Amino acid sequence: MKKITLLLLLILTYSCGIQYDGEKRLIVEGQITDRDEKPLSGRIVEVIVSDYDETDVISNSYTDANGNVLMIFPAPQNADYFSNTRISIRIAGDEIWQGKYLYNMWESDFTNYKYKLNTTLYKKEDIVQFNVIPNRVSNKDLVDVRIEGIQSNESIDFHPIVNDVLYANIQQEFKVIKNQQLVLHYTILNNDNTAPTSYNETINIGNDPINQYTITY
């Protein structure tokens, strides 16, 4: 009975694993620099392939003295819209430097089998929070909020799910770089069949760790 139970457990837990195409190679190459465009050496970069069940670190490397990195690895099969297999690139952070996570990538995000990873990393001490606070006082809707300025972009979703409800996707929290001028763009939907009104506000970001802007509509 024990043997049968063990066999059943083995069958149940058996997984084929992520499938790879041994006859196709994908390439991640590029340079990692700081905000002054100086190369950052010794940064850990990983390429991760995952599906619902498994995760493989298919390649990992360190940036060289010039901040360059080159990783070549077998392409996962069916990393596309129709399957659950996805490719991610992770740049590890540490106590000084931010990390970055580029995720939900398909094979089609590689141009001619190559993804150019030219990225700027910021020191953690240079990153502050910018929050947009919606203050609804009428029958209007805030439908679009975005900022123009230097953001740390710690995680980038290559294929975000787009929600049908316009105001459900409003981003309210941004990680931005200290001591800069941002432009905040937002749109108010009037709900009385008149045209939506767009606004642009210039905002000064200083040294405060948390910065806020309230939109009253």
Q: Can you give the binding site for other proteins, defined by CB under 8 A? A: 17, 19-27, 56-61, 70-74, 112-114
Q: Are 107 and 87 in contact (CB under 8 A)?
A: yes
Please identify, using beta-carbon distances, which residue of 34 and 56 lies nearer to other proteins: 56
Instruction: Quote the least distance from Cβ 204 to other proteins, whole Å.
Output: 44
Q: Which helix (H) or strand (E) holds 40?
A: none
Q: Which is nearer to other proteins, 40 or 170 (CB)?
A: 40
Instruction: Dump strand ranges (E) for 63-217.
Output: 68-76, 86-91, 100-105, 114-116, 119-120, 127-135, 141-148, 155-157, 173-177, 180-189, 197-205, 210-216
- In whole angstroms, how close is the CB of 121 to other proteins at the nearest point? 20
> Which amino acid is it at 149?
G
Q: Which is nearer to other proteins, 114 or 178 (CB)?
A: 114
187 phi, psi to nearest 5 deg: -130, 135
Q: Which run of H or of E encompasses 12?
A: helix 2-13
Residue 7 or 72 having the CB closest to other proteins: 72
Identify which of residues 33 and 77 has a Cβ nearer to other proteins in the complex.
77
Cβ of residue 124: shortest distance to other proteins, in angstroms?
27
Q: How far apart are CA 59 and CA 32, in angstroms?
A: 17
Tell me the closest approach of the beta carbon of residue 137 to other proteins, in angstroms: 55
Q: How far is the CB of 92 from other proteins (least distance, A)?
A: 16
